[in-house]
């Protein structure tokens, strides 16, 4: 029976090596997984002596293994390498497919290193593969790319290595990344049209005041007479835009630099993030997105055996809002003191009653992870409704504002026309 030498990792992350008598390679992988090991490399060793003896009998020299082709030197340090969300999703999905097909992690990374054509993906995959060859675990290798793999990704992979269920963990990560991508895409796509409409309206107003108004008013001034107050105000705005435009740019840059310096401080960042949660419409979108992301992520972590306190740390890191992070830190302290997570969040007055009540039911029934996934479904649907409502209301508001400004411009011009007509009627007398 053929023999297969293997290298795997146990639940503690240590390397384990051995030899198995198996009819084929797939059976060897199943036996290793039954031992709760994560296979890293499996090689056939029983047929090697037969090949050698046959070559020596024929008088031919033994074949020399070709040296492995090494990838080109990386152009970006691992700590600075960054991939898009789509590239990370492609890498995770393909690696999960290879592992579920029965390949070892070493073989899967080797295949991806040849298959993925993007230079940064190839560089990252080569670095991960080389780390495995050097004897490091997969989760340790992921930490070399902090701008590619978020903490939740690394911790889930570590949990998969410890439990021997890395293919299943990667499959769940694919689902998680896909859901987060769909959530972000829905928000962005719903806001594209309002943003375009606002920019187009602003550009129209600037062009109208800067180019068209001076030509019309210049003709009116030649007829003599006093221009109405509205027309003079419009000319003053035109004078400011055409003469002191550079001052406006300087002021805008100064305000931008001052704002960035303000939000770099911890107090300024907290104040700004708290103000963002008070903006009508926008705050509702941000909070519902956070509720959905919080519950989805925490539920995924709990399903894969990550401890609750570590899960709270991870969902705190992905908040993206310093004020929300402080609230979650206070909630974590309450959990350490013995409170349930639902009670701790209720005390922070951050999550709605429906959220905390459903969480409390999940804690009491022992189905916490499933309940969090259900909460995520609820608030993702609520987020869709909120985004649709806000995106529906924004265009009419922008149109009304543009109409008001254009109406003021037209009124100032018509006032000058009426004044000119009146002066022409008075002059013959």
Closest by alpha carbon to 156, among 110, 86, 83, 92?
A: 92
Model pLDDT for residues 286-295, shown as the tens digit of each residue: 888 889 888 8
Same-domain status, 215 and 361: yes
CA distance 301 to 310: 9
Closest by alpha carbon to 119, among 146, 155, 83, 152?
A: 83
* 353 in any annotated domain: yes
* 26 in any annotated domain: yes
> How far, CA to CA in Å, does 133 sit from each of 7, 104, 107, 126, 373?
10, 13, 11, 11, 37
Say what the pLDDT of residue 57 is.
41
CA distance 20 to 6: 8
Q: What is the CATH number of the domain that holds 295?
A: 1.20.81.30
* 148 in any annotated domain: no
Domain count, the chain: 2
Q: Which residues neighbour 127 within 8 Å (Cβ) at sequence distance 6 or greater?
A: 74, 78, 141, 144, 145
Say what the pLDDT of residue 359 is.
93
* 203 in any annotated domain: yes
**Structural domain that includes position 22:** 3-47
Same-domain status, 43 and 186: no
pTM: 0.61
* 209 in any annotated domain: yes
Say what the pLDDT of residue 69 is.
39
Model pLDDT for residues 145-200, shown as the tens digit of each residue: 988 888 878 877 877 776 667 888 888 788 878 877 877 777 777 777 777 877 88
What is the mean pLDDT of each successive set of 10 residues along the chain, which is 429 residues long? Answer: 73 72 73 71 59 41 39 61 87 89 85 86 89 84 88 79 76 82 75 77 75 67 65 76 84 94 91 89 84 85 82 81 90 91 90 92 90 90 82 79 79 73 60
Q: Which residue has the tokens 């008598």?
A: 21
Cβ-in-10-Å burial (0-12, 13-18, 19+) of 118 comes to: middle
CA distance 356 to 303: 19
Question: What are the φ and ψ backbone dihedral angles of 173, each rounded to 5 degrees?
Answer: -65, -40
Q: Which residues neighbour 296 within 8 Å (Cβ) at sequence distance 6 or greater?
A: 176, 179, 180, 372, 373, 376, 380
Say what the pLDDT of residue 227 is.
67
* 400 in any annotated domain: no
* 22 in any annotated domain: yes
* 75 in any annotated domain: no
Say what the pLDDT of residue 11 is.
61
Say what the pLDDT of residue 356 is.
92
Question: What are the φ and ψ backbone dihedral angles of 375, each rounded to 5 degrees?
Answer: -60, -40
């Amino acid at each position: 029976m053929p023999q297969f030498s293997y290298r795997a990792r146990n639940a503690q992350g240590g390397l384990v090596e051995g030899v198995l008598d198996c009819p084929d390679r797939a059976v060897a992988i199943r036996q290793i997984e039954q031992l709760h090991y994560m296979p890293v490399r499996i090689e056939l060793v029983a047929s090697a002596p037969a090949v050698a003896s046959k070559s020596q009998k024929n008088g031919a020299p033994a074949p020399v293994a070709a040296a492995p082709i090494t990838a080109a030197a990386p152009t970006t340090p691992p700590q600075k390498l960054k991939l898009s969300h789509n590239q990370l999703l492609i890498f995770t999905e393909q690696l999960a497919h290879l592992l579920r097909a029965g390949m070892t992690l070493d073989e899967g990374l080797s295949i991806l290193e040849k298959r993925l054509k993007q230079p940064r993906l190839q560089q990252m995959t080569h670095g991960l593969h080389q780390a495995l060859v050097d004897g490091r675990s997969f989760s340790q290798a992921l930490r070399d790319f902090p701008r590619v793999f978020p903490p939740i990704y690394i911790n889930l992979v570590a949990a998969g290595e410890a439990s021997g269920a890395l293919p299943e963990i990667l499959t769940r990560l694919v689902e998680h990344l896909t859901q987060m991508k769909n959530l972000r895409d829905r928000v962005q796509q719903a806001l594209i049209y309002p943003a375009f409409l606002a920019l187009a309206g602003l550009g129209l107003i600037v062009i109208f005041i800067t180019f068209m108004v001076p030509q019309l008013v210049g003709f009116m001034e030649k007829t003599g007479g006093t221009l109405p107050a509205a027309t003079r105000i419009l000319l003053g705005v035109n004078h400011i835009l055409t003469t002191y435009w550079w001052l406006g740019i300087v002021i805008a840059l100064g305000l931008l630099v001052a704002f960035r310096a303000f939000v770099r401080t911890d107090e300024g960042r907290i104040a700004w993030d708290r103000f963002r949660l008070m903006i009508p419409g926008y705050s509702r979108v941000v909070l519902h997105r956070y509720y959905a992301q919080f519950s989805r992520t925490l539920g995924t972590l709990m399903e894969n055996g990550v401890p609750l306190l570590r899960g709270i740390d991870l969902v705190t890191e992905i908040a993206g809002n310093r004020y929300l992070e402080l609230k979650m830190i206070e909630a974590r302290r309450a959990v350490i003191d013995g409170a349930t997570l639902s009670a701790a969040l209720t005390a922070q007055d951050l999550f709605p009653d429906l959220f905390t009540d459903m969480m409390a039911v999940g804690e009491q029934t022992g189905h916490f992870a499933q309940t969090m996934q259900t909460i995520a479904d609820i608030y993702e649907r609520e987020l869709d409704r909120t985004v649709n409502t806000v995106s529906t209301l924004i265009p009419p508001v922008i149109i009304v504002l543009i109409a008001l400004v254009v109406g003021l411009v037209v009124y100032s011009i018509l006032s000058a026309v009426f004044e000119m007509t009146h002066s022409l009627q008075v002059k013959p007398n």
